[in-house]
Structure 1
Amino acid sequence: MQQFSFVRRAALSAAVLGLVAGTAQAQTKIKTKSSAGKEKVSVATSGQSGVGITLANLDRTVAPCDDFYRFANGNWMKNNPIPASETGWGGFNQLRNRNRDVARGILEKVAADRTAKPGSNAQKVGDFYAAAMDSVAVERAGLKYLQPRLDKINAIQDVAGIQRYLADPKNYGKGWYGLSVGQDPKNSSVYAVQMRQGGLTLADRDYYLKDDARSKAIRAAYRTYQINTFKLLGDDQATAEKNADAVTRMETRMAKASRDRVALRDRDKNYNKMTVAQVATEFPNLDIPQRLKESGLSGAKEIIVGQPDYLKEANAMIKEEPVADQKQYLRWHLVEGVTAALPKAFVDEDFRFTQVLTGAKQPQARWKRAFAATDGALGEAFGQLYVDQDFSPAAKARAKQMVENMRVTYAERIMATEWMSAATKAEALKKLNAFVVKIGYPDKWKDYSKLTISRESALNNLFAVAEFNTNDNLSKYGQPVDRSVWGMTPPTVNAYYNASLNEIVFPAGILQPPFYDPKADDAVNYGGIGAVIGHEMTHGFDDQGRKVDSQGNLRDWWTKEDGEKFMAKADVVGKQYDAFTPLDSVHVNGKLTMGENLADLGGLTIAYAAFMKTPQAKSGKTIDGFTPEQRFFLSWAQIWRINQRPETTRQLVQTDPHSPGQFRTIGPLQNFPEFHKAFGCKEGDKMVRPTTDRAKIW
């Protein structure tokens, strides 16, 4: 499943592909000059007071035409230091915290209730959370529940044993490659078996390969993490060092054969359909027929291979690497994936390594980690309890109406686009009208009846969930495509577009202030959730999404000329973001972030056009001294406010397809004549790109 989220996922290592007053006197705007001679906005009392724009966040010493991000958020950034347990702190984090507080109340209640019917969602959610919170039981268990799996790896004696281990879907941990069932990108009505590169611990292949100081520091910290973890498993110092070096040597070999993140964005090159016989011939050491048999996929005749060159190397490694070293690789990935449910000594080693990656000063509270684990494991079981308390049918209906308003506006923008031919416009409208909209929570909840959860062992619960999810995925093969599935849980502060299902999805967690507030004016809501909706819609037409048709099939529906015109326009955006530097010598990667940058620009464009149809926009009436247009842009800027640790920024610039928040704010606005007009910006101001360099698509 190809998935685009509006913001990065909270966990930096997530595999998914995954957005975060009172009695104010009424005021009117006047203009003064900054020390640089540029106009800045200040206010004087009178007029109407509103909700949704936090005036205290503004830094009026900064001219909006110099740096609108700082103008809108500067005081908030000064007054909101990053908590010690966080890698960054912003609007998304605050809303996630709010949602977690709601979730905590629900989870503690169900965990305390020992009368829940066995096998019910309440029992499973309550027992999973209770086991995750029971640190005494985790310490007492030690390696008791891990040891049988370690023994299974230790019993491997030869390459055939490695092949049998990798073939068994019940075994936990990364293998040499990924295999799963998903929609066929070129025939979205059927499920296909898919294989892809995988097997690395570090978040990006380049961490293994680059020789800059930071990459070397990460590798050194990684080695320490491995050595200390192996020692906790019972190895002496020399053996632990030997095993750590073997794992890293193998992963480095995998990294060299892996495609980088930019190359992985090319959907056409990631689609290589082969017969099972061909795969067995090309990669005999992977023993795919055995893997398919053990996975219940013996009926499969074809496999979509994502990265053949990588699988060629993985095939060679199984034959060439010493079996003893391969066993240490399996041992490492078994343990590294479940440290959260192991004794504190393992958790501490994991966090010490995380500190090097992110700069976090202390671990998150145990209840927050337990909530994240419960949401990840039983997201839709817990989600039913969450939405009953925190998301009303009325809120769902209001959000649905706004989506449809945005869809109408998008159609108008497509038809008004001068550079696109009539044939391509017709296909674009067909795709737009086919968008499936999912809001708040699933209409059909996931069935967890085959999942057994107890309070005995938090670790065994993780293994049970992993096996349940694997079986659930493999069981899809040969079945009709389930278009009701969700890729995020209801409390998630995020949104996404799924190309294969041609759907836009907005969990309940994001349909709250600051993104959507029923008490706020339209400018605030269109600048917030309106831009989120437009963002996800635009993913259907970004440099990747445009290659997929209305039915979710990978198909080029553009005329050759229109495709070339689009990519020329996209390249303008790419060059703009390449020039952004969040830290000294660290540049945003315009190619890696292309899809998200195009979605931000398109989303803001569509949201603004939709807002201009509202009575508020037509009235021109000021609130808190700001015109409707100014409030729209302030709302957009304030949702992106964030303070972030430099270590985290460096990691995200290398691995995340989203640009940092400050550039998500100013990047689109620098191209936006309506913003320039709203704040009186002129040619030469930092917030105004030269006309010849200005990006415009929709």
Structure 2
Amino acid sequence: MKSLLIGAATAALLLPAAALAQDHDHGCIDETCTIQSIFQTGDEAFTGYKGVETPHYGTWGFDLTGMDRSVLPGDNFNRFANGAALDRTVIPADRSNYGISFGLLRELSDNRVKALVDELTARTDLAAGSDEQKIADAYRSYMDTARIEALDAQPLQPYLTAIRAANTHEAMAAYMGQTIGALGSSFFGTGITTDQKSPDRYVVSTSQSGLGLPNRDYYLSERFADKKAKYQLYIAQMLEMIGWNDPTGSAAAIVAMEDKIAQAHWTPAESRDRDRTYNEYTIQQLAAEAPGFDWAGYYGAARLGDVPRVIVRQNTALPKIAAIFAETPVETLQAWQAFRTVDAAAPRLSQRFSDAQWSFRSRELSGALEQRSRDKRGISFADGALGEAVGRLYVAEYFPAESKTQMEQLVANLRTALSHRIEGYAWMSPETKAAAQAKLNAFTVKIAYPNKWRDYSALDIRADDLFGNGERAGRFQWEYQLARLNQPVDKTEWGMTPQTVNAYYNSTNNEIVFPAAILQPPFFDPNADAAINYGGIGAVIGHEIGHGFDDQGRKSDGNGVLRDWWTPADATAFNALTARLGAQYDSYEPIAGHHVNGALTMGENIGDASGVAVGLEAYHLSLNGAEAPVLDGFTGDQRFFLGWAQVWQAKYRDDALKNQIATDPHSPSEFRVIGPLRNVDAWYDAFDVQPGQHYYLTPDERVRIW
């Protein structure tokens, strides 16, 4: 799977998971002020949007005051379109990065959820066992700080006792299996996903894991040596807080062990390859190929011992990691498990634990200056435990039904545009074109919210038990996954909640999905200029459709089956194009010494390039032969490109940017603006981009994939 938010066969649109997981509230004097009114002040630093009213941008959907017209479009289109907005925006203290458009909508969504939860917690008539009662009680439990402080580390004691009792390698392997759906961790990540070669059924999947830092680079690259040293201190701190023996020595042993695991890991770019990451084993075969780890005990403890087969992702890494497990003293494995348990539990423990975790994971690794307020974290907890129950209330209150109809028309236009483009590709044979058209015609589109909602009746939520609520929510989710194993794939399910500001493509379902919360300005505004909508949500639709034809998505057919439907010559031609695109992105250096990884970000970069090219053609189709009007001196094409740039306004703290470059399949926002546009001929025409300007490419250097 290649996703931030979903799983292996899914490509999420837009933002790092860490960015999406944060919510913030900085602000306006008037709680219902619009983005337009804030932007038009022009003389104060902008730090966020507060309120529940739908934002608006300028008079036709674009914030003209956010531009920096002193910069030539060809020298830096991101600065030209967004420079003034970026200059006056201050990253909120509790954020490590701030995607302005995404951040504002995320805040808007969170504020709306907060309003819903506040209304529920104020009521005394909620039916026991109802979703509404559970949402309110989940939030109440997070806000019951007196009880949380009184308990301190007490909720951890049963776990620590069990870890101390797991005093053999076999017992520790079984314990790792028990952590699936519970606190703790494993050297291997295991879950239940849709089978990529038989997408009508579910399958167990296992992958490399075991690292406490973001990825292998943080162990193996000198660029992150300071972070690894701070990590060791953090481990020792947490072990000392739970009274573990020899916390300093244990921390050193844990980091030394994780160093070895990091050396065994595949790189993030290697782990994107869907052909290499589909390896079928029985549990017995896996035990033979990766000895040193009790696989039968591990899967048995996870209640997966009778599954007929397992899909192993990084198959050459697992034997090495199993050998590391076998050679590591059990005392180190126990200390590692104790640390991973308290690290995961910290947000639901007393303040000394949550502060310590935030200090390392948010401030040290990502540069945030302040921890989010308690109420914001409480809303995130309730939303995380009962996401679709919250989403049902969100949609009823905040999503206009007419937006769904307009989105359906936009999607239809994007399909038509891509179909036209496929027919025009000289490098693609008729056979592959026919298969591509069949896949495009087979796309499923999900807009705003699911047709059926998740049933939370089996989830027990109590107002006085935050720690237990988290435990039960984890078990509830794992029970839900286990129940799917012998059932047909439910293609009506959603991988995101309606209140999520994002979108995704799922290759095994061959579907594109657009939650309600992204269907707002600046992405989509029913009252905005069409060019802005096509540059915003239109290009987003094109981006998601493009994932079906990116370097990994293209490997599945219209039924979601992982198979090669390309002629060898067409595959060779496609790979030559992607190699050229990857080289462009490799050259981008958002921060000194840290280049974009063109291989890691390839799928998202192709999605962006497709979104812009197909979105622009769809915009032209929508004009029905009429000439686009000129608004405030900007032509229709110019407004389309400005609309694309506007949705990617973002600022990063240095550590957050380094983290994204090392770990994230999405390029930093600056190059999500610039990277696609410099390969589009119409951009050069629209803004008279000339040789000598920084991002100018000659026509033969421009990469045109979809």
Which residue of the other structure, out of 218, 231, 255, is the alignment partner of 2:262? 255
Q: Could you give the per-residue CA deviations for residues 347-389 of structure 1, whole angstroms, max 9, x where no partner exists?
A: 1111221212111111112222222222222110111111111
1:408 aligns with 2:416: yes
Among the aligned pairs, what percent are the same residue?
39
| Counterpart residue type for residue 669 of structure 1 | L
2:644 is aligned, of 631, 636, 642, to 636
Whether the 8 Å CA contact 1:375–1:489 is kept in 2: the answer is no
- Quick one: distance in 1 between partners of 2:636 and 2:652? 30
**Structure 1 contact 91–514 (Cα < 8 Å) conserved:** yes
Cα deviation digits, residues 252-276 of structure 1 (max 9, x gap) = 2211111010110111111111223
- Identify which range, 110-119 or 444-453, moves more after superposition: 110-119
Alignment match, 1:87: 96
Aligned residues: 666
Deviation at 1:548, TM superposition (A): 0.9
Shift of 1:21: 4.1
Instruction: Answer with 186-195 or 275-284: which moved more.
Output: 275-284
- The 2-side partners of 1:132 and 1:387 are apart by 24
1:191 to 202, 209, 212: 202
What's 1:535 paired with? 543
Give the alignment partner of residue 119 of structure 2, picking from 70, 89, 109.
Answer: 109
Q: Which of residues 206, 220, 236 is equivalent to 1:209?
A: 220
Asked whether the equivalents of residues 19 and 97 of structure 2 are also in contact (C-alpha less than 8 Å), the reply is no
Amino acid at match of 1:435: F
3-state SS of 1:475 partner: helix
| TM-score between both structures, scaled by the size of structure 1 | 0.92
Query: Residue 325 and residue 464 in structure 1: after superposition, are their counterparts in 2 closer, same or farther (change >3 A)?
Result: same
Q: Which amino acid aligns with 1:190?
A: R
Q: Distance in 2 between matches of 1:268 and 1:178?
A: 19
Distance 2:679 2:20 in 1: 33
- Could you tell me how far apart the structure 2 residues matched to 1:666 and 1:162 are? 49
- The Cα shift of 1:23 comes to 14
Q: Which residue of 2 aligns with 1:172?
A: 183
TM-superposed deviation, 1:572: 1.3
Equivalent runs, 1:238-317 vs 2, <5 Å: 239-317=246-324
The CA distance in 2 between the partners of 1:493 and 1:13, in whole Å, is 8
Structure 2 length as normaliser, TM-score?
Answer: 0.91
1:404-436 Cα distance to aligned partner (Å, 9 max, x none): 221121111111211111100111011111111
Displacement, 1:301?
A: 1.6
Shift of 1:617: 7.8
* C-alpha distance in 1 between matches for 2:20 and 2:90: 24
Match of 1:613, SS state, is helix
Tell whether the 8 Å contact from 1:21 to 1:51 is kept in structure 2 after alignment: no
Code of the residue aligned with 1:533 in structure 2: it is I
Equivalent of 2:336, from 325, 329, 332?
329
Tell me how far 1:579 sits from its aligned partner.
0.8
In structure 2, which of residues 464, 469, 475 is the aligned counterpart of residue 467 of structure 1?
475
The AA in structure 1 aligned to 2:254 is V
Pairing partner for 2:139 from 129, 136, 144: 129
Letter in 2 for 1:400: E
Q: Say if 1:75 and 1:264 are closer, same or farther in 2 by CA, change over 3 A.
A: same
User: Which of 504, 517, 533 is equivalent to 1:509?
Assistant: 517
For 1:67, the equivalent position in structure 2 comes to 76
Contact 1:69 1:637 in 2 (8 A): yes
The question of 1:51 aligning with 2:60 is answered yes
Unpaired runs of 5+ residues, structure 1, are 15-19, 26-48
Could you tell me how far 1:337 is from its partner in structure 2?
A: 0.9
Cα separation, partners in 2 of 1:586 and 1:314, compared to 1, 3 Å: closer
Match of 2:533 in 1: 525
Aligned residue for 1:438, secondary structure, equals strand
From the superposition, tell whether residues 21 and 278 of structure 1 become closer, same or farther in structure 2 (CA, over 3 Å).
Answer: closer
Q: For each residue in 1:290-342, what CA deviation from the matched residue of structure 2 results, as whole angstroms up to 9, or x when unmatched?
A: 34444443442221111223221232233321111111111111111121111
Superimposed CA distance per residue, residues 78-103 of structure 1 (whole angstroms, 9 cap, x where no aligned partner): 11111111112221111111111111
Query: Alpha-carbon deviations, 1:152-176, whole Å to 9, x = none?
Result: 1122222232133223356422112
Q: Distance in 2 between matches of 1:573 and 1:536?
A: 18
Aligned match of 2:30: none
Counterpart of 2:654 in structure 1 is 646
Q: How does 1:548-627 map to 2 (within 5 A)?
A: 548-615=556-623, 618-627=626-635
Is the CA contact (8 Å cut-off) linking 2:191 and 2:205 kept in structure 1?
Answer: yes
Which of 575-584 and 179-188 deviates more? 179-188
Q: Would the aligned equivalents of 2:358 and 2:371 in 1 still touch at CA under 8 Å? A: yes
Moved more, 348-357 or 551-560: 348-357
Tell me the SS of whatever aligns to 1:681: coil
Aligned residues of 1:103 and 1:386 also touching (Cα < 8 A): yes
Give the match for residue 667 of structure 2: 659
SS at match of 1:81: coil
User: What amino acid maps onto 1:244 in structure 2?
Assistant: A
Asked if the contact 1:59/1:70 (under 8 Å) is kept, the reply is yes
SS in 1 for 2:549: coil
SS at match of 1:246: helix
Deviation at 1:679?
Answer: 1.3
1:289 Cα deviation (Å)? 2.9
Which whole-Å CA distance do the structure 1 matches of 2:357 and 2:500 have between them?
25
The equivalent residue for 1:78 is: 87
Which ranges in structure 2 are unaligned for 5 or more consecutive residues?
1-6, 22-34, 41-57
Contact 1:180–1:474 (Cα < 8 Å) also in 2: no
Measured against aligned partners, the alpha-carbon deviations of 1:16-62 in whole angstroms (never above 9, x if no partner) come to xxxx947999xxxxxxxxxxxxxxxxxxxxxxx94211111011211
Aligned mates of 1:581, 1:406 — CA distance in 2: 32
Q: Aligned-pair distance for 1:394?
A: 1.6
1:200 maps to: 211
